[in-house]
Amino acid sequence: MDEQRRARRERLRWHCRRALLELDIVFERFWRSAGELSEDDEVVLADLLAMEDHELWYLVSGQTETDDPRAKGMVERLRQA
């Protein structure tokens, strides 16, 4: 992985440090099992990580759904994590 890509991935990882323990645990499990992330995956994940903690938790725990077709796959992966 080139340095730029690595740095981008690491930044994403850091943005998974959240204010809610619920999300910390989901993301910890996600990274353990994530396997390869495509560049598109990284963009989608970055968008999700820009959400407020409570909104993101509602989404990941299935209390709300996303309208964004691109995000659905990633949300599903987080739910399975």
Partner 1 sequence: MSVTVRTFDAVIVGAGGAGLRAAIQLSESGFKTAVLTKVFPTRSHTVAAQGGVAASLGNSEEDHWHWHMYDTVKGSDWLGDQDAIEFMCRKANECVIELEHYGMPFDRTDAGKIYQRPFGGHMSNFGEKPVRRSCAAADRTGHAMLHAMYQRNVKANTQFFVEWMALDLVRDAEGEVLGVTAMDMETGEIVVFHAKATIFATGGAGRIFHSSTNAFINTGDGLGMAARAGIPLEDMEFWQFHPTGVAGAGVLITEGVRGEGGILRNGQGERFMERYAPNAKDLASRDVVSRAMVTEINEGRGCGPNKDFVLLDITHLEPATIMKRLPGIREIAIQFAGVDPIKEPIPVVPTCHYQMGGIPTNYHGQVVVPQGDAKAAVVPGFYAAGECACASVHGANRLGTNSLLDLLVFGKSAGETAVEELKKSAKAHKPLPQGEIDRALARVNRLDTQTTGADVHETRIAMQRAMQNHCGVFRFADKLKEGVGKILEVEQQVRNTVIRDKSKVFNTARVEALELENLIEVAVATMISAEARKESRGAHVRDDATDTPEHPDGRDDAHWLKHTLWYKEGNRLDYKPVTLTPLSVDTIALKKRAY
Cα gap 77→73, rounded to integer Å:
6
DSSP 16: T
At its nearest, how many Å lie between partner 1 and the CB of residue 5? 11
Question: Which 3 state secondary structure label does DSSP give 32?
Answer: helix
Residue 25 binds to partner 1 (criterion: CB under 8 A): yes
Q: Give the interface segment with partner 1, choosing from 35-43, 46-54, 69-77 (CB under 8 A).
A: 46-54
| Residue 63 near partner 1 by CB under 8 A | yes
Biggest CA-to-CA distance, the chain: 38
Task: Find the binder of partner 1 among 2, 5, 10, 67 (CB under 8 A).
Answer: 10
Classify 20 as helix, strand or coil: coil
| Interface with partner 1: number of residues (CB under 8 A) | 23
